[in-house]
Structure 1
Amino acid sequence: MLLALDIGNTNIVAAIYHGDHLVTQWRMATDRRKTKDEYRILVIQALENSGLKKDAIEHVAISSVVPPLNPMLLSMFQEYWGIRPLIVRPGTKTGLNIKLDDSRSVGPDRIVNAVAAYHHYGGPVIIVDLGTATTFCAVNRHGDYLGGVICPGLGISTEALVAQTAKLPRIEICQPQRALGQTTEESMQSGVYFGYVGMVDGLISRFKGELGEEGQQAQVVITGGFGELIGKGCRQVDHIHPSLTLDGLRLLYERNRGER
């Protein structure tokens, strides 16, 4: 079985795959202060909660935007499982053509998402990932990765609003019934939710325009922690795919397996 780890700035999303079947998945907080023993215990506990044993893990694939964790996790899997993980980095075979001036600067999470989206939906495809940061990427019909947009994430934008104002409270991020809020909390929820829905739809429209004739045929897929919440309110989103990044890790492991 393959353990796929998507290491983000806020959460680590993990999944177990048996072939192309997603067996189970879980989340844990990203914490640079934790030791490899603490992470090992968390992984084993999550496996046991899913009815799996420690030695169920035979392969590991990692996408990480938190580089300080990478050496520790490599050491953990090598020491306790005898596995050398695949870490997505420049040089990893993706099957895409990265059409950027500096292809090494693209975050591994964006590449992994693009690989999965192109595999599942073909091209042209536009990918939106609503995590700690909100990212947009585009891949054309030929499998060329064309770049995209990086915006502040929904969660950190809301926290910044609360932190930089004297009287605004923390709120639950949810879908309001209407845009016209009757209380401060409702007004904030409306601004956060409908503001991000509008941003997503607006940027997708711009992407489609810049892609020209091809853009009118582009499929749009959304993922990430807030993907389902925002995606169901967007007119431009065709597919909500919560496991997109994890699926991409599985695909990349298979494509690079011969070199492991």
Structure 2
Amino acid sequence: MLLAIDAGNTNLVFALVEDGVIRARWRIATDPRRTADQYAVWLHQLLELEGFTRADVDAVIIGTVVPRALHNLEVLATKYFGVEPLVAGQGEADWGIELDVVEPRSVGADRALNAIAAHALHEGDLIVVDFGTATTFDLIDYDGAYKGGIIAPGINLSLDALVSAAAKLPRIAIEAPTERSVIGRTTEDQMHIGIFWGYVAMMEGLIERMKAEVGRPVKVVATGGLAVLFDQHSEMFDVIEPDLTIQGLAMLHARSVQAD
């Protein structure tokens, strides 16, 4: 069974994948100081709760946008699972897709993995919207090449900046406003409207501009924790793929095994 590890700026996701099917997944806050031993204790308990053991894991692949976290994750794989991990984008786990941008090495692992999975799952030109620390908009053409995209502040990052900079504004949850009006009558309502509908307007505007630039029909694929929330209040997404990055890791691993 494959242990796929997606190390993002805010969270790390560990997923057990068998024959392309995600059997279990767990999430932990990203902390580059966390040691392989700490990961192992935490993960061992979660494996047991789901009815698995360390012996069930016979392969590990890591995708990371946090370079400082990589070493301890590699030690976790070798010391506690007895396998040499693949690292997405390196060696046998080279991307295998064209990164058609000025600086291919600057493309984040999560974005390349999303491109691999989205192209495998959907035909034609695609825009992938990924909700993370940043919200990214990536264009993948009908041949599967990564053509570039947009990086915008994530909605939580935007809210944190607003609350930190304005002393009297309260911290609010990320949720759709309860009232249909976009004219708030309280401070909290006004913040909900500005954060939520402002973010929807930003996304809709950027997606429409990308579509106009492509000039062909484009399918919009959304992934990340907030995709479902926004999908309930807008028609900008054609499909939700909640585990796109993990699927990309599993596909990359399968490709590397076949190449052997």
| TM bucket, shorter chain | over 0.9
1:233 is displaced (CA, Å) by 2.2
Structure 2 partner of 1:60:
60
For residues 176 and 48 of structure 1, the distance between their equivalents in structure 2, rounded to whole angstroms, comes to 40
Establish whether residue 117 from structure 1 lines up as the match of residue 115 from structure 2.
no
3-state SS in 2 of match to 1:112: helix
Establish whether residue 197 from structure 1 lines up as the match of residue 203 from structure 2.
no
Structure 2 partner of 1:184:
187
How do 1:51-200 and structure 2 match up within 5 A?
Answer: 51-89=51-89, 92-177=93-178, 178=180, 179-200=182-203
Identify the range of structure 1 (82-91 vs 134-143) with the bigger mean alpha-carbon deviation. Answer: 82-91
5+ residue gaps, structure 1, are none
Listed one character per residue, the Cα deviations across residues 14-68 of structure 1 (whole Å, up to 9, x for unaligned) are 2111111111112111112222111111111221121111211111111111100
3-state SS in 2 of match to 1:109: helix
Aligned residue among 194, 207, 211 for 1:208:
211
Does the 8 Å CA contact 1:24/1:50 hold for their aligned counterparts? yes
1:190 is displaced (CA, Å) by 1.5
3-state SS in 2 of match to 1:69: helix
3-state SS in 1 of match to 2:208: helix
For residues 57 and 182 of structure 1, the distance between their equivalents in structure 2, rounded to whole angstroms, comes to 54
Listed one character per residue, the Cα deviations across residues 221-243 of structure 1 (whole Å, up to 9, x for unaligned) are 11112222123323221011111
Does the 8 Å CA contact 1:196/1:230 hold for their aligned counterparts? no
Does the 8 Å CA contact 1:223/1:243 hold for their aligned counterparts? yes
1:96 is displaced (CA, Å) by 2.1
For residues 209 and 129 of structure 2, the distance between their equivalents in structure 1, rounded to whole angstroms, comes to 13
Aligned letter for 1:137? Answer: D
For residues 61 and 199 of structure 2, the distance between their equivalents in structure 1, rounded to whole angstroms, comes to 31
TM-score (norm 2): 0.94
Identity of aligned residues (%): 42
Listed one character per residue, the Cα deviations across residues 115-173 of structure 1 (whole Å, up to 9, x for unaligned) are 11111112201100011111010111122211000111111111110001110011111
Aligned letter for 1:153? Answer: G
Does the 8 Å CA contact 2:89/2:95 hold for their aligned counterparts? no
RMSD of equivalent CA atoms: 1.5
Does the 8 Å CA contact 2:184/2:193 hold for their aligned counterparts? yes
Structure 1 partner of 2:23:
23
Aligned letter for 1:165? Answer: A
5+ residue gaps, structure 2, are none
How many residues align structurally? 257
1:90 is displaced (CA, Å) by 5.2
1:258 is displaced (CA, Å) by 4.6
Listed one character per residue, the Cα deviations across residues 85-131 of structure 1 (whole Å, up to 9, x for unaligned) are 11112564334211112111100100001111111112201100011
Structure 2 partner of 1:244:
244
For residues 182 and 90 of structure 1, the distance between their equivalents in structure 2, rounded to whole angstroms, comes to 53
1:77 is displaced (CA, Å) by 1.0
Identify the range of structure 1 (241-250 vs 54-63) with the bigger mean alpha-carbon deviation. Answer: 54-63
For residues 42 and 259 of structure 1, the distance between their equivalents in structure 2, rounded to whole angstroms, comes to 33
3-state SS in 2 of match to 1:172: coil
For residues 234 and 58 of structure 2, the distance between their equivalents in structure 1, rounded to whole angstroms, comes to 39
